[in-house]
Amino acid sequence: MLTHFIGGLPVAVGKAFPVHDPVTGALARQVHEADPEIVDRAVRAAREAARDWAALPVGERAGWMRRLAEGIEARFDDLVAAEIADTGKPLDQTRTLDIPRGIANFRAFADIAAQRPDDAFHLSGLLSYTVRRPLGVVAVIVPWNLPFLLMTWKLAPALVAGNTVVVKPSEQTPGSAAVFAEICADAGLPPGVVNIIFGYGSAGQLLVEHPGVDAVTFTGSTRTGSAIMRTVADRVTPISFELGGKNAGVIFEDCDLDRAVEGTVKSVFTNGGQVCLCTERLYVHRSIFEEFCARLAVRAQEIEPQPMISAEHREKVLSYYALARSEGAKVLTGGSVPVFGDHRDSGYFVEPTVVTGLSEWSRFNREEIFGPVCHVAPFDSEAEAIDLANGSDYGLAATVWTTSLDRAHRVAQRLEAGLVWVNTWYLRDLRTPFGGVKLSGIGREGGTRSLDFYSEPTTITIKLEQPDA
Ligand code: 6OD
């Protein structure tokens, strides 16, 4: 049974809750559920550790981040196994993306923090400079789609900036966080610097409303994000949110069609479409629309389906497939549940699906589905494509496929999204600002933006007396 990790120790308190294997639907593990007392213990442990951790020179904290990266390398196979057990992700993706990004996150933020200069401003007779202080205890609330990647993406900058943390992974994906707790303990990380509690959204709610929490970082749905905002509003707690997306892909007639099809296959279907950056709305120039649709549909049929995270999430995705049919969409491929004839038939799979013919105002084209599915629509001009792509309440990511350099810049700069990839998708430089506009989030993390969020500057201004001439 998985236990909480508080003050450097496993804590086996709380009733058990089940985690199911998405591939088969079978019970995979039991986990202790945090109650109010456990949440309080975790926040107190983090507060007790906060002063000494913040007092360490940044170079020493960076050294701890590098030791954690080494710990992840040493437990690589255990982390891969834990992540796959909870999510049903493909082995190859887990080995090349999810777990390596944990290592990269700790190394990148160690380097960025250790090398970061402080600000200094000189103005006749005045010298001002800033010192940055950590916020204190950060609540880190992690979703189920990229559990280890996103936990470490938040932990590394929060810790290196001098904060202590209480992490609440998704109830569906506690496994890699439990292995990470062992890595922290084995590395000898000071007790209380990292605390991990397990439970449902109710445990997350207890955590963010705890008065000992100084900041909240969250990746997940817009609905949960706005509930957290309401909870912390009275205490004016700093928040950093990366929320939902309804990301557009714009495919111009001058694109390299092979690259555009393959890149779009990745951007729609990676992780079963369960990445907030996945493309769900495609706009394709009318002159290549039929060919693009046909090729995308063929490639979608070749994809190995990946399970949805839960039976409930599968029902949600299937409800959009039904909606598309009820509104008269043309289903180019998929639209149903695959039949394997083996143990996977009791898992949470849906078919990779491509549809056309729906109105831009359909809920199918306006709401985040978070499954292996996209809608494809034609456009006639660059201006129309930009309007269509921007016609969303969300603004996280977009892709543009063109061989024209001018067009690439022109269009990318007019798209209302925090992230635009041109002729590629989800290639990351961890130093860049990362986050969304509109309903897709508040704030940016990444590089020094993360360190800015996880610390606050104090400006010190000194009047310099001028010697008499
Ligand atoms: O790659 C990242 O750093 C990141 N924050 C990815 C977020 C994916 C959301 O599903």
pLDDT beyond 80 at 161: yes
Tokens of 19: 């985690």
Count of residues for the chain? Answer: 469
Q: How many Å apart are CA 365 and CA 376, to the nearest integer?
A: 10
pLDDT at residue 466, as a whole number: 78
The residue whose CA has the least distance to atom 6 of ligand 1 is 150
Q: Tokens for 421?
A: 């990839």
Distance separating alpha carbons of residues 144 and 1, to the nearest angstrom: 19
Ligand 1: residues with CB < 6 A are 145-146, 150, 153, 219, 242, 275-277, 428, 434
Q: Which two tokens stand for residue 59?
A: 């170079």
pLDDT value, residue 236: 97
In this structure, the residue with its CA closest to atom 7 of ligand 1 is 276
pLDDT in tens, 307-333: 999 999 999 999 999 999 999 999 999
Which amino acid type is present at position 240?
A: S
> Counting atoms of ligand 1 from 1, which one is nearest the CA of 275?
10
Question: Contact 188/8 with Cβ under 8 angstroms?
Answer: no
The encoded tokens of residue 424 equal 């590629």
Q: What's the rounded Cα separation, in Å, for the pair 423 and 412?
A: 11
pLDDT tens sequence across 145-156:
999 999 999 999
Is residue 99 within 8 Å of residue 79, measured between CB atoms? yes
Which of 87, 242, 247 is the best mutation target for the ligand 1 pocket, counting ligand atoms within 8 Å of the beta carbon and taking the most? 242
Mean pLDDT (the chain, rounded): 97
Atom of ligand 1 at shortest distance to CA of 145? 10
Ligand 1 atom with the smallest distance to the CA of 153 is 3
Distance (angstroms) between ligand 1 centre and the Cα of 436 equals 11
- The helix/strand/coil state of 245 is coil
Distance CA 401, CA 412 (A): 10
The arithmetic mean of pLDDT across residues 350-363, rounded, is 98
pLDDT tens digits, 27-36: 999 999 999 9
Could you give the percent of the chain with pLDDT greater than 70? 100
At 170 the pLDDT is: 98
207 C-alpha to ligand 1 centroid (Å): 22
- For residue 199, the SS3 value is coil
The interaxial angle of helices 147-160 and 58-74, nearest 10 deg, is 160
Best mutation site among 150, 270, 279 for ligand 1 pocket (most ligand atoms within 8 Å of CB): 150
Contact 109, 203 (CB under 8 A): no
* Token pair listed for 388: 């269509």
Q: Is the pLDDT of residue 465 over 90?
A: no
Q: What is the mean pLDDT of residues 333-360?
A: 98
What atom in ligand 1 is closest to the CA of residue 105?
A: 3
Best residue among 105, 153, 241 to mutate for probing ligand 1, ranked by most atoms within 8 Å of CB: 153
* 8 Å CB contact between 21 and 88: yes
Q: In DSSP terms, which residues pair with 281 in a beta bridge?
A: 248, 375
Which residues sit opposite 265 in a β-bridge?
A: none
Q: Which of 141, 173, 276 to mutate to test the pocket of ligand 1 (most atoms within 8 A of CB)?
A: 276
Strand order in the sheet with 239-242: 9-11, 4-6, 194-196, 164-168, 137-141, 215-219, 239-242, 441-442
**Using 50, 70 and 90 to split pLDDT, how confident is the model at 337?**
very high
Query: 242, 280, 351, 445: which is the annotated catalytic residue?
Result: 242
Give the mean model confidence (pLDDT) for residues 238-253: 98
Q: Are the CB atoms for 113 and 139 separated by under 8 Å?
A: no
Q: Return the percentage of the chain with pLDDT > 90, whole number.
A: 99
CA triplet 179, 185, 187: central angle to 5 degrees? 100
* Model confidence band, residue 402 (pLDDT cutoffs 50, 70, 90): very high
Burial class (CB in 10 A: 0-12, 13-18, 19+), 82: buried
Instruction: Quickly state the pLDDT bin for 468 (edges 50, 70, 90).
Output: confident
Confirm if 225 and 360 have CB atoms less than 8 A apart: no
27 CA distance to ligand 1 middle (Å): 28
Tokens of 234: 């009275």
CA dihedral over 149, 226, 373, 200, signed as positive or negative: positive
* Per-residue model confidence (pLDDT) at position 469: 61
| Separation between Cα atoms, residue 213 and residue 206, nearest integer Å | 10
| pLDDT of residue 467 exceeding 80 | no
Q: What are phi and psi of 212, to 5 degrees?
A: -85, 5
Per-residue pLDDT at 113: 98
Q: What residues contact residue 126 under an 8 Å CB cut-off, 6+ apart? A: 461, 462, 463, 464
**How far, in Å, CA of 179 to CA of 77, rounded?**
11
pLDDT at residue 24 in the model: 98
Query: Catalytic: 242?
Result: yes
Model confidence pLDDT, tens digit, residues 122-133: 999 999 999 999
Query: 149 alpha carbon to ligand 1 midpoint, in Å?
Result: 7
Hey, which residues does 128 pair with through a beta bridge? 121, 461
Nearest atom in ligand 1 to 278's CA: 10
The C-alpha angle with vertex 393 and arms to 392 and 396, in degrees rounded to 5, equals 85
Report how far ligand 1's centroid is from the alpha carbon of 196 (Å): 20
- First and final C-alpha spacing in the chain: 77
Contact (CB, 8 A) for 331 and 325: yes
Question: How many angstroms separate the alpha carbon of residue 150 from the centre of ligand 1?
Answer: 6
Q: What's the rounded Cα separation, in Å, for the pair 135 and 450?
A: 12
